[in-house]
Structure 1
Amino acid sequence: EGATVHEIAGRGIKATTENGDVILCGNDKLMKENNIDFTAAHHGTVVYVAQNGTFVGYIVIADQLKEDAVSAIAALKAEHCTTVMLTGDNETTAKEIASTVGVDKYYAQLLPQDKVSRLAELKQSGKVAFVGDGINDAPVLTTADVGIAMGAMGSDVAIESADVVLMNDNPSAIATAKKISRKTMRIVKENIIVSLVIKFAVLILSAVGVLDKISFGLIIAVLADVGVCFVAILNAMRAMFVKGK
């Protein structure tokens, strides 16, 4: 209470109390830049604390993997997707998590701008979807071809920056969303092709006078219009039924 707090992007925070004490809380880069001799920790996400230039201690924060994280990565690999983890965690933590969940590649100790740079490199190899939930993920979500935010626990900034929001926070929903989108696009193409073929066929028959010579020509014309719309609607309803949904 009464302290002045400044956020240092990619480093941590600096607070000045009413008594004039300067407190630093952040990563190892913050300690090094302020010439503070500190004891390094190598497991989990580490927050180092210093007061008036003297190292006080550190707090280790360990994230718990979501229950379906491993199955989600396996499902994406089954869809022929290359999985890459971009994280600000240290090398040891990143390597352990990457090995546990089975991602193909990982990049550790990344600042927000570093994630954007890495994503730009990945985009050179093809379309990239990025999944994130934090404030620092917002620039990457915007840069990706498809930004996916974990809605239930994600920050408002991440949600606003994303193209897709997963409201149940289950990573396995990513593979399901991919299946739904692929099936939806297939149905859209089917509807367009069927509609054009039928309408062009009726148009040609009408142009050469065939429909004028038969008694039910008007019925065929109506079916080519209303009937095609009805068939397209029924076909579109198939998108509601996706395996694994």
Structure 2
Amino acid sequence: MPTSNGLRERKKRETRVALSLATIRLCVERGWENVTIEDIAAAANVSVRTFRNYFSNKAEAIAAAHVERTLRIADGIRVSPPGEPLWESIVTAVRANFAPDGSADGSADGSAGEGAGDSAGAEFGRWRDGVALMLAEPALQGEVLKANAAAQDELARAIAERTGAHPTRDVYPKLVAAVIGAGSAVAIEHCLRAEQPTPLDQVLREVFDRLAAGLPVPSYRGEHHDH
């Protein structure tokens, strides 16, 4: 049975995610300069004080979504079947958290997928352009760099646990963590730049299949005993 501390931590994490997603949605829809902290708090149904308890600014809130998604990917890698090949576990965890429904942009309804009508295509185009403008904000880019560093550290720990590598002495976990981040970023950029809506799930699968074919897992089992 969950402890009170566990429930509080879960609630805090849920609030953090809600604030981050509200910030992203509003900034994409309205433009970076047209969104205030008050707007975000209202959209997430919390007070401005609550927002400031979690984040200092909009950029920090947006970057938090990346860290949260990476934590879920790392958790997915950890709980994957023990006998499953590492890269299959990675592909499953990444796809589950970037494009759970096989949609082009990870949206909940998947309406912007390949073959959608003119209205859906136009909606996807507006969302895509809004995301691109948001990501171009200098204030956000610095926070994203910090988020990437934290995300890669967590992924590296998960990879070390799965492969038996040492989390700091061996380079493989860090390499795979960096590749997961780079591969995901390439897939997203490809979809954002595509002339026609392109299913993110499809691109992610192609990216990671190609990576898996060129990055076999070294055998670390038995080499280290003091993880």
The bucket for the TM-score relative to the shorter chain is: under 0.3
TM-score, normalised with respect to structure 1: 0.23
Q: Which has the higher contact order (CA 8 A, sep 6+)?
A: 2
Structure with a larger share of its residues in strand: 1
TM-score, normalised with respect to structure 2: 0.24
Structure with a larger share of its residues in helix: 2
Larger Rg: 1
